[in-house]
């Protein structure tokens, strides 16, 4: 089954920079110290892999709440590494495939990576790759076993590889034993008031006077939800105001902003 | 399996307005503030998707007790949006299909939607799409994973999409993690006395004097059950009176109405 | 699988009156108020479906202990409705079939019903259709999902349908959420002393003096067990007396009757 | 699957008297009141089926500890009924078959029975037919459902059938709901001292003086174990004495008998 | 599946004496009273089967801790019986086969046995035949059911059979109900000091003075572990001494013996 | 399935010394007494197998925390034995294969080993071969049964075999009963301060003054993590310093070393 699946895979994997750019829909802005720190450390791992003698395989896990910026961070590291081979493995491109086909796809990416002297493989949303669901819990043990072996298997002599994983279900990965399989793990947090303020300043859609109030209300908000919330608020209570706001002619009404925040928070 | 299923699907999805209309068997009447509020907010999301720059994908969940009006609400939003592509994905059209065929059907609708610049996809009765049953509990993880990925996957550049889900098992969706995958969630409640009264007035089948008594007894009743109950009561205790009532010649006997209410309540 | 199953089904479903008659092996006699009440209410639903404007689909569940008369009641409603299409869906005709074949059979009956302007479909012994067993518990979720969708799916415009379900495992159906899917539910009870007496009088196999004693002992007995018990007792302690009793020449010996009752009660 | 299985079955079922005789390896001897009582009552059921008007289907369960004589009893009833069709359904003839093949075999026997005006079907060791094992517990729900339907399904008009089941796992059958499906249930017990004495007297292998001591030690022993124990003891402590004993030249040494009893009891 | 498997089996089962001899790698020596007692009793069962009239099927289970000598004992009985057909059914010859193939192999051995007037079938390591693992627990119910039926099924008239089972998981077999299916069960224990001493004397690798100390330390040790331990100790602390020891030129160093014992005990 | 799998295996197993060398990426250095002791004892087992008369099969398990040096130790024993046949069975070469294919691969290695007079088979990371995951727990019972049988099955006459297993999940193996199947088990521990110091001295990348501080901080660290940590630290806080350090021109900054240690410890 798996072997067939392996043969059927067309090497559709070319340069993926384009692919990686789409992971940063809202760009990369300064959003606080912790995000900067992780970025710096991760770039040191890139360096270690580039010059490595004794550790041809380095693995690093980015974990944190949904929307905190893990995928954008991993993509950024991949882009900035300038390694000849950088690929992202994501559930999006494998919807509906059988476990063994997914498994074959994943193995294929690693096999391709082993052909490059320097490579980065991003395992995005590992819990989704594993088809994890909290009820049961259920997940694909076939894929889980595959990842555990791949995270430990050395590339051929002379080839060096950096594997970056992302997850918002670190507790689950720990109980699988997958966390232990990574050399290092970094926690990517939600925003603090200070970080939120920086992001809002960069967006420039609030009145100077409102920006602190808004930032405070956004303490503990994940980056991605913040962007969604701002866009909702920009429509205005009666609709139609977004163009004026993005062109800078108007600012977001702080009351309507809090209404929208209420709608969003009730779901968390 | 899934791939075959994908190919076998005939693009039977044309304009679906007709389809959507059938979701509002009893029309749309004023039934209280909450229903109006949700309708207004949802139409703002439609607007956001239409003019969106930064959020090409907006997702919204309507949850509430069985019969509270979720499907009719979603259909109404779809109709009023006047988007070129509006489709409803419902278990009714997929009875007896295998998990992977259902999965392929769902994916197909999204793929079609991605071809339209503006589109709305309604995931009706998500627990039924997931083949959920409380005992176990059991459900299709294949479909659940598919939905979780689709609710996060961006449409191609330049295409914008609004996804509306409905469910009467919000607790189950929460434990799956599907609730978190939606940008916003709105609770669609049963009727309050006041709302019930409005509906009864619109129907005009009760005596003026009986209408308040009836409305009070209907506090906390879902819309759909109300319509069923009225029609039962309209038969009269001995049958045969419904024509007279709907033509306005007679009114519903309030005692028989309470008898029928008793029959129906015992099952809740 | 399901699709194949669907095609293989030969439309062996013609007029089924004969079929329905066999469900009333011991005829229909007066056995108490509750049975009469249910019968009357159910006939009102038949009426509602016949003249319906706003509710083309009405669903009704008869639940009660094993042998209390549910199937005979449903069959009687079907026969008396004089609707052009009346079918009973029963596990008896689907022994050993796979889940998907059963599912296809069920769907087929509904599809056929949709072609008739007025129709009744009887889902007999729903727990058996679902292959329910208390250990586990286990059951067919495929069939359960199918029923839940069918109980909610509207027939085509202009067609009206009444669905009657029977079950002796109402607690199980409730935990599945199938009970909620029915518009109304009626509880069909075991016999009270009074009802038992009426049945015994109709049978006329006891001495006048014994009939009250016997009826009292039969308090809380299901109808079907009563008939079995009487026939056992009619053999006499040494056999051979049944002809004399049914021809009216002899009466059942009350002591032997109590012996047989003891044998039967020990199993309940 | 099931349908194929049904077609493949060769009607290897002819007259089975020979078959039934093998179920009484040690013959039928008087072993106490309870066994006699059950036998008599069961023969009344045979009579009831023969002359039946209103109950064309009678079902009876013999339950009791392993080796208590259930199968021999059922076989005896079958033989003495002199019905044209008497079959025993036993796991012995279906070793290693798939669930659906077993199911088909069982259905086949019933279909054959329906062709005879009077018939008896023995479901021997129902827990074994169901592939029951206490761990889990596990069992075949396919076969369990089949039995539940067959135990309720009426034969065609004019045909009468008696179904006799045997089991040593009555608690399990009860939790399945199979017990309730039988019209009557009889408990077949282990031997009491008195019954054991009768059996030993019939065998005539003990000294007059030893027979009471032996019978007392056998209180609560199942019939089948008793026969095995006597044969073990008949070998003598050093072997070689069995011929002398069975020919009546010698008697069993009571001490050696107690040694053997010790070996056997340790396993219960 | 099973039927195919049955046909594919090549009757590779000829005379198996050679096979049985390999089960006694270290021969059979006197190792205490219990082992002798079981051997004697088992030989009486052989006798019973040979002369049997009323019990053509005798079944006997040898249970005890891992390595206590069960398989060697069963093989010895088989060899000494001099029955024309003696076979051992062991998981070793069925590695990797499917459940149904294993099942077919087992059935085949019994069918072959039924052709011989006198036969012995050894079911070695029943828990392994059942693919038992304590976690879950898991095991093959197909094989378990097959064994339960085979342990009860009578051979054809005129054929007599003795079935010997071995297991080190008697608790598991009890919960399956397989223990009850055996006529008798014997417990094969680990060694007592006295038995260990006899074995060591027979091996003659210790100094007279050390033998009691060593035997005492071996109290409660299974036979097979004892043989492994002695061979380990015979290498000497620095290796190379085994030849001298087995040729009798040197004796085992008692201190090194205790070191090895420590290594081995830590694993128990 | 298994049989097919067996045939499809190409005997890709030639001399594997190269293979074994790759298991010791950082060579073998002196790292404390316990590692030395295990090595010595294991070499005695090699000797025992070489000269064995009575125990043609010796089995030994190396268990200990992840990264403690088990695989490198097993490979070293294999290399130093100079046996003609030494193979390592590892999950790395069987990614994505079905259970039965893995099973066939494993059996094949043993069959090949049986052809050599002296052989060593290494079962590396047994929990990975078993596809073990703590959640559930889940694992392959097919492979588990195969290993249990192979660990007990004697090689053909005249052939001797040593089986070495490694695992970091000894508790799991114990609950399977696999631990008991090994003749001896050795615990391979993490480093003590003293051992860590020896390793750091051999690496020569710290200042004399820092080495004790560093070693103390490394108490309880597995060997493999130590090597990864040192390489991380060698990059320096700003990157680019590793060449200077490995060439001996600079030493690792002890503060940066502690920073890296912090990153790594947080994941344990
Ligand atoms: N400094 C930053 N780091 C990361 N993301 C940033 C930063 N600045 C802006 N962003 C934007 O924030 C968003 C982060 O979303 P992203 O998808 O990376 O989150 P995530 O943690 O992967 O979410 P999920 O858990 O749902 O997968 C992106 O749109 C990205 O463009
Ligand atoms: N303002 C309103 N909003 C929603 N539905 C309305 C409104 N006014 C009347 N209706 C009628 O009420 C009924 C609501 O039923 P609907 O099927 O939408 O409920 P639902 O919540 O989807 O039920 P279910 O949980 O069973 O799927 C429809 O027949 C609709 O025509
Ligand atoms: N008034 C009555 N209502 C229903 N059944 C009656 C009535 N009078 C007589 N009977 C007889 O009583 C018996 C009722 O059996 P029926 O099979 O309907 O019970 P049931 O509740 O469906 O049992 P089960 O739970 O086993 O399916 C039938 O033989 C029927 O002929
Ligand atoms: N009066 C009797 N009734 C039943 N069996 C008797 C009687 N007298 C002697 N026997 C003998 O006792 C034995 C009873 O064994 P039988 O196989 O019927 O027991 P069982 O209850 O079916 O056992 P199991 O639970 O193992 O299936 C038979 O060998 C039968 O010949
Ligand atoms: N009197 C004896 N009885 C049994 N075995 C003996 C005796 N004397 C010596 N032995 C030897 O002891 C060993 C017993 O091992 P055996 O394989 O029979 O144990 P086992 O109980 O079957 O173990 P396992 O539980 O692992 O299957 C054999 O090598 C056998 O040659
Ligand atoms: N004396 C030694 N013993 C073992 N390994 C050593 C020794 N000295 C150095 N090493 C190095 O330490 C590392 C040990 O890693 P190894 O893969 O053997 O650990 P492991 O216990 O098998 O880990 P895992 O549990 O992840 O399989 C190897 O790189 C090896 O070269
Ligand atoms: Mg992400
Ligand atoms: Mg709805
Ligand atoms: Mg019924
Ligand atoms: Mg029996
Ligand atoms: Mg053994
Ligand atoms: Mg290792």
Question: What are C34-87's pLDDT values in tens digits?
Answer: 999 999 999 999 999 999 877 899 999 999 999 999 999 999 999 999 999 999
Q: What is the pLDDT of residue E14?
A: 40
Chains F and E touch (3+ CB pairs under 8 A): yes
Q: Are residues E183 and E242 in the same domain?
A: no
Q: What is the pLDDT of residue D12?
A: 39
Q: Are residues F11 and F101 in the same domain?
A: yes
Q: What is the pLDDT of residue C161?
A: 97
Question: In terms of DSSP H, where are the helices of E116-191?
Answer: 126-129, 141-150, 170-176
Cβ within 8 Å of residue E172, ≥6 positions away: E127, E132, E134, E137, E139
F251-265 residue pLDDT tens: 999 999 999 998 887
Q: How far is A186 from chain F (nearest CA, A)?
A: 8
CB E58 within 8 A of CB E164: no
Highest mean pLDDT among D254-263, E160-169, F232-241: E160-169
Query: Where is pLDDT greater, at C11 or A152?
Result: A152
Which residue among E97, E246, E264 places its CB closest to the CB of F53? E246
- Mean pLDDT in residue range D50-70: 93
Q: Are residues D175 and D232 in the same domain?
A: no
Q: Which residue of D has its CA nearest to C131?
A: D145
Give, for ligand 5, the residue of E24, E168, E225 to mutate: max count of ligand atoms closer than 8 Å to Cβ: E24
E153 touches chain D (CB under 8 A): yes
Residues of chain F with pLDDT > 70, as a percent, come to 93
Q: What is the pLDDT of residue E54?
A: 77
Q: Are residues C182 and C200 in the same domain?
A: no
Tallying the residues shown for chain A, one arrives at 268
pLDDT band at B13 (very low <50, low <70, confident <90, very high): very low
Domain CATH for C138: 3.40.50.300
Asked if residue D10 has pLDDT above 80, the reply is no
Size of interface C-D (CB pairs under 8 A): 87
Q: Are residues F80 and F134 in the same domain?
A: yes
> In F, which residues are within 8 Å of E138 by CB distance?
141
CA nearest neighbour of A198 among A226, A235, A170: A226
pLDDT band at C12 (very low <50, low <70, confident <90, very high): very low
Q: H/E element holding E2? A: helix E2-8
- Mean pLDDT in residue range D236-260: 94
Positive or negative, the CA dihedral D124, D126, D129, D131 is: negative
Are B97 and C2 inside 8 Å of each other by CB?
A: yes
pLDDT band at C268 (very low <50, low <70, confident <90, very high): very low
**Three-state secondary structure readout of D62-87:** EECCCCCCHHHHHHHHHHHHCCCEEE
Which residue among E26, E95, E135 places its CB closest to the CB of F107? E95
Asked if residue A5 has pLDDT above 80, the reply is no
pLDDT band at A10 (very low <50, low <70, confident <90, very high): very low
Residues of chain D with pLDDT > 70, as a percent, come to 93
Q: What is the pLDDT of residue A14?
A: 40
Q: Are residues B182 and B198 in the same domain?
A: no
C265 touches chain D (CB under 8 A): no
B162-197 residue pLDDT tens: 999 999 999 999 999 999 999 999 999 999 999 999
Q: What is the pLDDT of residue C8?
A: 53
Q: What is the pLDDT of residue A55?
A: 81
- Per-residue tokens: A191: 């925003």
Full DSSP string of F208-247? HHHHHHHHHHTTT--HHHHHHHHHHHHT-TTS--HHHHHT
pLDDT band at F52 (very low <50, low <70, confident <90, very high): confident
Q: What is the pLDDT of residue A6?
A: 55
Q: Are residues F86 and F156 in the same domain?
A: yes
Question: In terms of DSSP H, where are the helices of chain D?
Answer: 2-8, 17-21, 33-51, 70-81, 99-115, 126-129, 141-150, 170-176, 193-203, 208-217, 223-234, 242-246, 254-265
**Structural domain ending residue among the three candidates D142, D159, D187:** D187
- Dihedral, CA of residue D87, residue D92, residue D95 and residue D98, to nearest 10: 30
Asked if residue D9 has pLDDT above 70, the reply is no
Q: How many CB atoms lie within 10 A of CB F117?
A: 14
Asked if residue E261 has pLDDT above 50, the reply is yes
- Mean pLDDT in residue range D96-109: 96
CB C174 within 8 A of CB C132: no
Asked if residue E87 has pLDDT above 50, the reply is yes
Rounded mean pLDDT of chain B? 92
> In C, which residues are within 8 Å of D6 by CB distance?
96
Asked if residue F12 has pLDDT above 90, the reply is no
CB D92 within 8 A of CB D105: no
Active site residue B1: no
CA nearest neighbour of C102 among B96, D65, E14: B96
**Structural domain ending residue among the three candidates D187, D222, D254:** D187
Asked if residue E15 has pLDDT above 50, the reply is no
CA C260 to CA C246: how far, in whole Å?
18
B68-88 residue pLDDT tens: 999 999 999 999 999 999 999
Asked if residue D15 has pLDDT above 60, the reply is no
Spacing, Cα D147 to ligand 12 middle (Å) = 54
**Structural domain ending residue among the three candidates E143, E172, E187:** E187
Instruction: Please indicate whether residue E43, judged by its CB atom, sits closer than 6 Å to ligand 5.
Output: no
Q: Are residues A64 and A127 in the same domain?
A: yes
Cβ within 8 Å of residue B65, ≥6 positions away: B168, B189, B190, B222
Please state the domain count of chain C. 2
Least confident of B120-134, D252-266, E172-186: D252-266
Are F103 and E91 inside 8 Å of each other by CB?
A: no
Rounded mean pLDDT of chain A? 92
Least confident of B92-101, C170-179, C256-265, F94-103: C256-265
Q: What is the pLDDT of residue F121?
A: 98
CA E54 to CA E48: how far, in whole Å?
10
Residues of chain B with pLDDT > 70, as a percent, come to 93
Q: Are residues E148 and E48 in the same domain?
A: yes
Q: What is the pLDDT of residue F268?
A: 38
Chain-centroid distance of CA F89 in Å reads: 11
Positive or negative, the CA dihedral D177, D181, D187, D188 is: negative
CB F135 within 8 A of CB A138: no
CA A73 to CA A89: how far, in whole Å?
15
Region for residue E125 given its phi and psi (left: phi exceeds 0; alpha: psi -120 to 50; beta: otherwise): left
Q: What is the pLDDT of residue B14?
A: 40
Q: Which residue of C has its CA nearest to D102?
A: C96
Bond from prior residue into C243 cis (ω within 30 degrees of 0) = no
Query: Which residues, in sequence order, are bridge partners of residue C164?
Result: C60, C122
Query: Which bound ligand lies closest to the C-alpha atom of E188?
Result: 5
Q: Are residues F103 and F120 in the same domain?
A: yes
CB F199 within 8 A of CB F29: yes
Q: How far is D53 from chain E (nearest CA, A)?
A: 39
Active site residue E224: yes
pLDDT band at D156 (very low <50, low <70, confident <90, very high): very high
Q: Show the CA angle centred on residue D88, arms to residues D86 and D94, nearest 5°.
A: 145
Q: What is the pLDDT of residue F170?
A: 97
Asked if residue F25 has pLDDT above 60, the reply is yes
Q: How many CB atoms lie within 10 A of CB D204?
A: 12
Which residue among D96, D133, D263 places its CB closest to the CB of E104? D96
Q: Are residues D142 and D229 in the same domain?
A: no
Active site residue D152: yes
CA B253 to CA B205: how far, in whole Å?
10
Which residue's entry shows tokens 């060096």? A160
CA D157 to CA E11: how far, in whole Å?
51
CA D184 to CA D55: how far, in whole Å?
14
Instruction: Please indicate whether residue F196, judged by its CB atom, sits closer than 6 Å to ligand 6.
Output: no
> In D, which residues are within 8 Å of C68 by CB distance?
none
Asked if residue D97 has pLDDT above 70, the reply is yes
- Mean pLDDT in residue range D17-39: 92
- Measured in degrees and rounded to the nearest 5, phi and psi for residue D159 equal -105, 140
Q: What is the pLDDT of residue D16?
A: 61
Asked if residue C267 has pLDDT above 50, the reply is no
C2 touches chain B (CB under 8 A): yes
Spacing, Cα D68 to ligand 4 middle (Å) = 6
Asked if residue C14 has pLDDT above 60, the reply is no
Q: How far is C146 from chain B (nearest CA, A)?
A: 6
Active site residue D70: yes
Which domain range does residue D155 map to? 2-187
- Per-residue tokens: B228: 């069923």
Chain-centroid distance of CA F68 in Å reads: 8
Residues of chain A with pLDDT > 90, as a percent, come to 87
**DSSP-derived secondary structure letter, E84:** S
Lining residues, ligand 2, CB within 6 Å: B 24-29, 31, 35, 66-73, 125, 166, 168, 223-224
Q: Are residues F179 and F215 in the same domain?
A: no
Cβ within 8 Å of residue A41, ≥6 positions away: A184, A186, F263
C151-204 residue pLDDT tens: 999 999 999 999 999 999 999 999 999 999 999 999 999 999 999 999 999 999
E123-182 residue pLDDT tens: 999 999 999 999 999 999 999 999 999 999 999 999 999 999 999 999 999 999 999 999
Tallying the residues shown for chain E, one arrives at 268
């Amino acid at each position: 089954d798996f072997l067939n699946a392996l043969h059927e895979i067309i090497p559709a994997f070319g340069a993926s920079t384009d692919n990686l750019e789409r992971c940063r829909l809202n760009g990369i802005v300064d959003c606080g110290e912790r995000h900067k720190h992780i970025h710096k450390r991760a770039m040191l791992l890139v360096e270690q892999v580039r010059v490595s003698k004794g550790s041809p395989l380095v693995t690093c896990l980015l974990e944190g709440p949904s929307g905190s910026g893990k995928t954008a961070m991993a993509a950024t590291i991949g882009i900035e590494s300038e390694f000849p081979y950088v690929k992202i493995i994501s559930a999006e491109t494998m919807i509906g495939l059988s476990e063994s086909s997914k498994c074959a796809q994943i193995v294929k990416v690693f096999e391709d990576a082993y052909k490059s002297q320097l490579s980065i493989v991003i395992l995005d949303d590992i819990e989704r790759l594993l088809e994890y669901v909290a009820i049961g819990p259920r997940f694909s043990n076939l894929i889980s076993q595959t990842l555990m072996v791949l995270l430990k298997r050395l590339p051929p002599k002379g080839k060096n590889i950096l594997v970056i994983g992302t997850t918002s279900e670190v507790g689950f990965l720990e109980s699988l034993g997958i966390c232990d399989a990574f050399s290092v793990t970094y926690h990517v947090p939600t925003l603090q008031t200070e970080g939120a303020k920086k992001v809002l300043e960069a967006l420039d859609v609030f009145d100077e006077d409102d920006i602190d109030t808004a930032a405070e209300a956004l303490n503990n908000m994940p980056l991605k939800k913040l962007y969604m919330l701002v866009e909702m608020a920009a429509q205005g209570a009666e609709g139609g105001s977004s163009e004026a706001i993005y062109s800078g002619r108007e600012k977001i009404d702080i009351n309507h902003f809090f209404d929208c925040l209420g709608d969003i928070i009730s779901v968390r």
